[in-house]
Amino acid sequence: MSENEYDVLVIGGGVVGAGAALDAVSRGLTVTLIEARDWAAGSSSRSSKLIHGGLRYLEQLDFRLVREALKERHLLLTRLAPHLVRPVPFLFPLRHRIWERFYIGAGMTLYDLLGGLRSVVPRHRHLSRHRALEEAPGLRPDALIGALQYFDAQTDDARMTLTIARTAARYGAAVANRARATGLLREGGRVTGARVLDLETGREITVRAGQVISATGVWTDETLAMAGAGETRTMKPSKGVHIVVPRDRIDLRTAMILRTEQSVLFVIPWGQYWIIGTTDTQWSLGKDRPVASRADIDYLLDHVNAVLRRPLTRDDIEGVYAGLRPLLAGGEANTAKLSREHLVANPVPGLVVVAGGKYTTYRVMAQDAVDMAVRELGADVAGSVTQRVPLLGAAGYEALWNGRHRLAGRSGLSVPTVERLLRRYGSGVEDLLDMITADPTLGQALDGAPGYLKAEAVYAASHEQALHLEDVLTRRTHVFMEERDRGLAAAPEVAALIAPVLGWDDDVVRRETERYRLQVEAEIAAEKQPDDVTAEVILHSVPDLSAHAGAAGANP
């Protein structure tokens, strides 16, 4: 990166930054993408993992946003990422007779219409109480008088972001995680690149570019300050907390959405688990590692238990995760009422800032940012083509899915295991199966995390740019949020598996394992604290060593 000058430098490896890199490189521009931590380490791995239009935004009369998001949902389901995005039915319990069915039903009719005539998800339908309880036997009969059922879609948010970054690299972008922008280069009044610190080695380089695109999410104000744009308050982060419970703890055949006094609460299927969330509260503390408190967890349990036959307890919780929504600052005191519209701005020459928005519309945000950068470049550049560029693993996915029984026979894996791999890697599953053919032991399940194969840990380091144990257990897989011990039992084996790929010696393996243990124990302790302030004190009692240079190197 230090030896070349690029047309575009993208700062921020969340879904929007990765999308901007893909959009720019697929127009024929030379592109580099840097991320201070790991791909999707911030908001883009801590969402509700939905690809949706945002049914609640209809109440805010945000029809354009809903229509735009539903168009993107269709593209992801049908063309861009059918291996990573799939439809999910949602039950909306009704509590009031006549008016609520008419009111919510009218909204869902509009939702269906905004989704287009060619939508691949079914239209909504009305259910009697009897029929609703057949779909959701785990609900208390007195919790509803009927229901409506509609469809949206779900994705693995971390893997989606990673796949977008890998797709950009496939088309020629230079991409690097653990590379932090420490300052912007200036020539006169124009931004011409950035100073970049390699957090693995401590080496600092300069990266020059005709345009810099900042897609730093909740850190946008810090980027603007770095650019000398003055004191600004562009972002108003909102914390969202989710809990994860085993699938057998709630007897549902469908996902569910409930109204709350803040916004809505989702109960979403996730493999052998349910994800329950989310909270929506203002956040003004540290942005690197938002933390859940006891109050957040109690809020989620109280609201979901209000409708369940068998209430959940804290003992049922397998995992917890917290993230920050990158909401644009507005006049509303309540972040739940802030719009999810995005902002693209050119605060100083050479710098384009994209902020706000929602995960589902990442491609539109990226396109808008690159459009502005292209105008600044003043060159004859092609328009965006990303609505026609499938992500890595999409090409050939359907053919492989249809042949999944043959793949299972060839690899010696079970058909359900092959199906799970196809939904994570798409046509890239061939690489994993080749690894297992070369070393059959990689087809075995991980100790302490039986939902994943040893091959997946190795593949994370060899193909997916995982540089630390945390990267594998938290984002390449989701062991951290799915296992009750947050992956502590699996950590030593995973560290040993990836050590040969990353060139770790025994000391580094021990250090990575110990660091992961300390961070997990700090998060668990933080979740027992009554509020955000005391929870954060506990969490930050353990340094985030992965944010410092030489984290996996020779120096402790």
Please say if the pLDDT value at position 336 is more than 50: no
- Tell me what pLDDT residue 230 has: 65
The continuous run of DSSP H or E covering 373 comes out as helix 362-377
- Tell me what pLDDT residue 340 has: 56
Please say if the pLDDT value at position 61 is more than 90: no
Please say if the pLDDT value at position 291 is more than 50: yes
Give the pLDDT band (50/70/90) at residue 333: very low
Tokens of 181: 């922008």
- Tell me what pLDDT residue 231 has: 66
Query: Which of 167-181, 213-227, 262-276, 332-346 is the most confident on average?
Result: 167-181
Q: What are 197-221's pLDDT values in tens digits?
A: 999 999 999 999 999 999 999 999 9
Q: What are 11-47's pLDDT values in tens digits?
A: 999 999 999 999 999 999 999 999 999 999 999 999 9
Q: Which residue has the higher pLDDT, 284 or 414?
A: 414
Give the pLDDT band (50/70/90) at residue 335: very low
- Tell me what pLDDT residue 138 has: 97
- DSSP per position, 4-45: -EEEEEEE--SHHHHHHHHHHHTTT--EEEE-SSSTT-SGGG
Average pLDDT, the chain: 93
Contacts of residue 337, defined as CB under 8 A and 6 or more positions apart, other chains included, come to: 60
Q: Once rounded to an integer, what is the mean pLDDT over residues 153-164?
A: 98
- Tell me what pLDDT residue 330 has: 65
Q: In whole angstroms, what is the distance from residue 390 CA to residue 76 CA? A: 9
- Find the largest Cα–Cα distance for the chain: 71
Q: In whole angstroms, what is the distance from residue 74 CA to residue 120 CA? A: 7
Decide: 303 and 21 in contact? Cβ < 8 Å. Answer: no
Please say if the pLDDT value at position 282 is more than 50: yes
Q: What are 239-274's pLDDT values in tens digits?
A: 999 999 999 999 999 999 998 887 789 999 999 999
Decide: 459 and 432 in contact? Cβ < 8 Å. Answer: yes
Q: What are 374-433's pLDDT values in tens digits?
A: 998 977 899 999 999 999 999 999 999 999 999 999 999 999 999 999 999 999 999 999
Q: In whole angstroms, what is the distance from residue 511 CA to residue 469 CA? A: 10
Q: In whole angstroms, what is the distance from residue 280 CA to residue 324 CA? A: 9
Give the pLDDT band (50/70/90) at residue 148: very high
End-to-end CA distance of the chain: 27
- Tell me what pLDDT residue 552 has: 44
- Tell me what pLDDT residue 487 has: 97
Question: What are the phi and psi torsion angles at 181 (to 5°)?
Answer: -75, 120
Q: In whole angstroms, what is the distance from residue 463 CA to residue 459 CA? A: 5
Please say if the pLDDT value at position 545 is more than 90: no
Q: In whole angstroms, what is the distance from residue 177 CA to residue 158 CA? A: 14
- Tell me what pLDDT residue 553 has: 40
Count of CA atoms in the C-beta half-sphere (13 A) of 316? 22
Give the pLDDT band (50/70/90) at residue 349: very high
Contacts of residue 92, defined as CB under 8 A and 6 or more positions apart, other chains included, come to: 104, 108, 147, 148, 149, 150, 256, 257
Q: Once rounded to an integer, what is the mean pLDDT over residues 423-449?
A: 96
Q: Which of 70-74, 134-138, 253-257, 551-555 has the lowest mean pLDDT?
A: 551-555
Please say if the pLDDT value at position 554 is more than 70: no
| Displacement of CA 453 from its chain's centroid (Å) | 22
Of 287, 378, 292, residue with least CA distance to 36:
287
Tokens of 432: 């994993």
Q: Once rounded to an integer, what is the mean pLDDT over residues 334-342?
A: 54
Query: Three-state SS for 29?
Result: coil
Which conformational region is residue 144 in: left (phi greater than 0), alpha (psi within -120 to 50 degrees), or beta? beta
Query: Three-state SS for 186?
Result: strand
Decide: 112 and 67 in contact? Cβ < 8 Å. Answer: no
What are the C-alpha distances in Å from 487 to residues 119, 472, 495, 501?
39, 10, 11, 20
